[in-house]
């Protein structure tokens, strides 16, 4: 019963991936490393059949969707801003590593130089998910995360083109020249980018007319193959075609997709990426018994094989900082903002974030059977992947903490989010005023809901007082979750009794789920308070902010006199920087800070919460 065996195999793979990845995350272990170790252990169990994982399955079946899933989540604006550094890493560093490792392998092993270069191309590209997963978990600065993501998206193309060129040079006995290599590389880049652009334009044009989330998600699943297969057919870079299509479609998604389609795409692609990538690590580990058996048949000694594997691993880890640190001084000329080099600590972290992953393991199986000592080269690729995940992946968090390389304070994110949302809400309210023939009740409802959304963002700030009362948004969330539970229970009663149409019930249940997920998201993004003062940058375009100080002396008492007089409880306090009046925020019942501005024209206030020094201009609606 082959079909039953296939179903059981797929079930076992998905189940193992889910359980091992969940345990690894709970224990703080790298999931790719845990899955490789699990696969290696499983390969020696006699009752587990060895799956045959070909290069075609990985490079054609798995790599395009993995790259596309990462590309649609990458900011095109950030990518473009850091394109110089990303290019230097994804092209220059890959070729530098391939040459360095190739020279070392040629010296240590009895193989032609072209084969040694092929090995260098195999181990050159770092893995996108392995690096960025660690980067996001330990909270690296966003520019570093952007550079790592961009590098990992593009370097696969460089490595695979270099690998293909090295293999062609070996098979044709040196007929490949520098001129042909240059032309092939140029064609791979230009052709891949052009095909990716055409696919993005075509898919974007179709998506504008697709409003069904199921159809839109299905089209999204087809897109990476629509870009990859034609590009590979004309011998350009399918990787670049997928990356370009993903970057452009991700950038245009707010315009060409509905909100439901975007939600569906994000959820489905996250699941696909999780299963595919982790399954590759598990499947590669299951190849270990066969790899070791093939290596045992080699004429090379065990000491030479292990010594070469260790030497290549060390070379891969050392060549990256050799390239990255000089790049720090060149980065101002490569498109980065500012004219000064970045902190050396950032370069240190960037140079150590070179974990290898799926592409390295898959590329090793691309090596043709004619390559001498192929099994040894595959083993070396396995050692480099496991070694970098183990050494660099486990020590990168320690290095970042030691060098005090941190991402933005969560309160800074909350402040920026509140400012952006306030700007968007203001634009929406201005558009509301321009709508003809709108009744007063509808306009009032829209204004109230818009203000509530903005106030909810501001309320996440200023949670430093010990006597903090429940904010209006927190009270709403608590009460609404309670009522949602009652509503869902009633829907389930109607469903089980069979007294209502099941399709209609499912639609209502889905609407409740969307609302509850939004409330859960607000809770999950609770602010992590820090001891440092929360301030906002100066806004050069606001004359009101430039005229006002950041503090008053002596500081007034931290209480809203109007709230005391009216018997209301303030949520957060705001200080007028013109006269020193202390009023409550817009989420408070009295909204006395804004009322003070309306009555006096004093346009600049400052947060009067402990640990906060940001200011706000009521006239220009900007932070400063």
Residue 134 · residue 355 · CB < 8 Å: yes
The ranges of the chain with pLDDT < 50 are 1, 336-339, 466-467, 527-531
State in Å, rounded, how far the first CA of the chain is from the last one. Answer: 70
Residue 556 · residue 578 · CB < 8 Å: no
Nearest to 537 by CA among 546, 529, 547: 546
pLDDT for position 339: 45
Residue 329 · residue 77 · CB < 8 Å: no
CA atoms 221, 222, 223, 228: torsion sign: positive
Nearest to 354 by CA among 321, 309, 308, 399: 321
d(CA 17, CA 15) in angstroms, rounded, equals 5
pLDDT for position 435: 83
Stated pTM of the model: 0.79
Domain 543-623: give its CATH superfamily: Zinc/RING finger domain, C3HC4 (zinc finger) (3.30.40.10)
d(CA 624, CA 621) in angstroms, rounded, equals 10
Which token pair is 534? 């929360």
d(CA 447, CA 363) in angstroms, rounded, equals 57
Q: In what order do the strands lie in the sheet with 615-617?
A: 582-584, 573-576, 604-607, 615-617, 622-623
Q: What is the DSSP letter of 581?
A: -
Phi, psi of 574 (to 5 degrees): -130, 140
Phi, psi of 612 (to 5 degrees): -130, 140
125-181 per-position pLDDT tens digit: 887 666 666 666 666 777 787 888 888 888 888 888 888 888 888 888 656 677 777
Bridge partners (DSSP) listed for residue 607:
574
Residue 258 · residue 206 · CB < 8 Å: no
pLDDT for position 540: 54
The helix or strand, by DSSP H or E, that contains position 440, with its residue range, turns out to be helix 440-459
User: How many angstroms separate the Cα of 70 from the Cα of each of 63, 304, 414?
Assistant: 11, 38, 25
User: How many angstroms separate the Cα of 215 from the Cα of each of 97, 257, 264?
Assistant: 43, 11, 10
The 3-state DSSP class for residue 232 equals helix
Three-class SS of 487-506? HHHHHHHHHHHCCCCHHHHH
d(CA 386, CA 393) in angstroms, rounded, equals 10
pLDDT for position 528: 47
Which token pair is 28? 């703080």
Neighbour tally for 270: CB within 10 Å: 12
d(CA 167, CA 169) in angstroms, rounded, equals 5
pLDDT for position 1: 41
Question: Could you write out the DSSP letters of every residue in 304-371?
Answer: HHHHHHHHHHHHHHHHHHHHHHHHHHHGGGTT-SSSSPPPHHHHHHHHH-----HHHHHHHTTS-TTS
pLDDT for position 550: 76
Bridge partners (DSSP) listed for residue 612:
534
Cα 515 to the chain's mean position, in Å? 25
Question: Could you write out the DSSP letters of every residue in 532-554?
Answer: S-B-----TT-HHHHHS-S--SS
Question: Could you write out the DSSP letters of every residue in 70-94?
Answer: HHTTS-HHHHHHTHHHHHIIIIIIH
Residue with tokens 């293909």: 164
Which fold does the domain 31-406 belong to in CATH?
Na+/H+ antiporter like fold (1.20.1530)
């Amino acid at each position: 019963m082959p079909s039953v065996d296939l179903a059981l195999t797929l079930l076992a793979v998905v189940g193992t991936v889910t359980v091992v990845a969940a345990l690894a995350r709970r224990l703080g272990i790298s999931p790719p490393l845990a899955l490789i170790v699990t696969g290696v252990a499983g390969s020696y169990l006699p009752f587990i059949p060895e799956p045959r994982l070909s290069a075609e399955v990985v490079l054609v079946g798995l790599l395009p969707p993995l790259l596309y899933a990462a590309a649609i989540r990458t900011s095109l604006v950030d990518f473009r801003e850091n394109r110089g550094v990303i290019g230097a890493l994804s092209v220059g560093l890959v070729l530098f590593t391939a040459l360095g490792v190739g020279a070392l392998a040629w010296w240590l092993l009895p193989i032609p130089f072209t084969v040694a270069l092929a090995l260098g191309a195999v181990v050159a590209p770092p893995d996108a998910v392995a690096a960025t997963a660690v980067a996001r978990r330990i909270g690296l600065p966003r520019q570093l995360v952007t550079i790592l993501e961009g590098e990992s998206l593009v370097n696969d193309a460089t490595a695979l083109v270099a690998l293909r060129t090295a293999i062609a040079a070996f098979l044709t006995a040196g007929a490949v020249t520098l001129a042909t290599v240059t032309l092939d590389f140029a064609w791979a880049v230009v052709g891949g980018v052009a095909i990716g652009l055409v696919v993005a334009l075509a898919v974007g044009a179709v998506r504008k007319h697709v409003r069904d989330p199921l159809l839109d998600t299905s089209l999204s699943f087809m897109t990476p193959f629509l870009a990859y297969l034609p590009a590979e057919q004309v011998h350009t870079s399918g990787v670049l075609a997928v990356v370009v299509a993903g970057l452009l479609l991700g950038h245009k998604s707010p315009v060409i997709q509905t909100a439901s389609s975007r939600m569906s795409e994000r959820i489905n692609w996250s699941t696909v990426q999780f299963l595919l990538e982790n399954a590759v690590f598990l499947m590669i580990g299951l190849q270990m018994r066969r790899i070791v058996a093939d290596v045992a048949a080699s004429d090379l000694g065990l000491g030479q094989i292990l010594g070469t594997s260790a030497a290549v691993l060390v070379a891969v880890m050392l060549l990256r900082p050799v390239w990255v640190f000089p790049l720090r001084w060149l980065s101002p000329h490569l498109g980065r903002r500012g004219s000064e080099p970045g902190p050396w600590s950032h370069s240190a972290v960037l140079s150590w974030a070179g974990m290898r992953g799926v592409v390295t393991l898959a590329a090793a199986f691309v090596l043709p059977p004619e390559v001498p000592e192929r099994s040894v080269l595959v083993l070396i690729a396995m050692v480099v992947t496991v070694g970098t995940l183990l050494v660099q992946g486990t020590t990168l968090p320690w290095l970042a903490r030691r060098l005090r390389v941190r991402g933005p304070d969560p309160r800074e994110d909350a402040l920026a989010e509140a400012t952006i949302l306030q700007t968007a809400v203001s634009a929406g309210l201005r558009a509301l005023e321009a709508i003809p023939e709108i009744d007063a009740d509808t306009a009032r409802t829209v204004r109230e809901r818009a203000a509530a959304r903005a106030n909810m963002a501001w309320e996440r700030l200023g949670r430093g007082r010990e006597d903090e009362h429940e904010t209006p948004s927190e009270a709403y969330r608590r009460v609404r979750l309670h009522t949602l539970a009652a509503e869902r229970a009633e829907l389930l009663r109607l469903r089980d009794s069979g007294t209502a149409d099941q399709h209609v019930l499912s639609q209502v249940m889905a609407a409740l789920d969307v609302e509850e997920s939004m409330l859960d998201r607000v809770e999950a993004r609770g602010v992590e308070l820090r001891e440092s003062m929360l301030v906002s940058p100066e806004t050069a375009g606001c004359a009101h902010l430039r005229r006002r100080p950041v503090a008053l002396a002596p500081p007034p008492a931290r209480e809203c006199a109007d709230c005391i007089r009216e018997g209301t409880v303030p949520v957060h306090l705001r200080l007028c920087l013109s006269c020193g009046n202390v009023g409550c925020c817009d989420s408070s019942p009295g909204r006395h800070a804004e009322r003070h501005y309306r009555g006096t024209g004093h346009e600049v206030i400052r947060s009067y919460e402990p640990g906060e020094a940001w200011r706000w201009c009521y006239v220009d609606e900007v932070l400063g």
